[in-house]
Amino acid sequence: MDKNQKLEYIFKAIKEAYPGKTLVFNDGSPDAPVMIIGEAPGADEEKQGKPFVGRAGKLLNATLEILGWQRSDFYITNIVKYRPRDAVGGTLTPMPQEIEKFRPAIEKEIEVVDPKLIVILGRIAMAGLGIGGTMAENRGKVIEKNSHKILITYHPAAILRNINWEPMFREDLARMREFV
């Protein structure tokens, strides 16, 4: 089985585990050297069926382009593969139990893609990979876990709320060059 077939197999298992949910899986190439992991899809992602295509995704794309990359140079995914919603359809932050339930799937996804570097966007993705500590303690750091290097930075939605953090976000993403 090649990587795409193995990923299809993971997605099939997720579909079976969550019948009735609108799922958003991945984008980009599984042969990319860098795997970018976010939190969960939002309304735009749910509509288009791809991760990071809304406002936060546009900021991510723009930052990658400033640094000389294209979005298609990466493999992009989320921890939680559906949009967590409240009773009236608003988007929620994933709950700790939801994040835990997706841990085996994201671990398998990482194993299949086997990137040179994983980039974690925000604290939910950090929790999804079982990394403790706060964003303030971890951002800009590269840690090693299960023989994968993991660079931790802010979620682009956090940059939209705190534009003063944008230079740090860009600086962190520029570090990807050290690993590819």
**Residue placing its CB nearer to ligand URA in the complex, 7 or 40:** 40
For the chain, how are helix, strand and coil distributed in percent, rounded to 5?
50, 15, 35
Q: Which is nearer to ligand URA, 5 or 70 (CB)?
A: 70
Cα 91-140-31 angle, rounded to 5 deg: 75
Is the Cβ of residue 84 or residue 115 nearer to ligand URA in the bound state?
A: 84
Least distance (Å) from ligand URA to the CB of residue 147?
Answer: 25
Measured between its terminal Cα atoms, the distance across the chain in Å is 25
User: Quick one: tokens of 133?
Assistant: 């500590």
Residue showing the smallest CB distance to ligand URA in the complex: 38
Nearer to ligand URA, 78 or 117 (CB): 78
Angle CA 28–64–25, to nearest 5: 30
Instruction: Report how far Cα 151 is from the mean position of its chain's Cα atoms.
Output: 12
Q: Which is nearer to ligand URA, 56 or 127 (CB)?
A: 56
Please report how close the Cβ of residue 164 comes to ligand URA at its closest, in angstroms. Answer: 20
Least distance CB 45 / ligand URA (angstroms): 4
Interacting residues with ligand URA (CB under 6 A) = 38-42, 45, 51-52, 54, 56-57, 78, 157
In whole angstroms, how close is the CB of 12 to ligand URA at the nearest point? 20
Q: How far is the CB of 108 from ligand URA (least distance, A)?
A: 19
Quickly tell me which residue has 């989320």 as its tokens. Answer: 78
The amino acid present at 50, given as its one-letter code, is: K
Q: Which residues pair with 118 in a beta bridge?
A: 35, 150
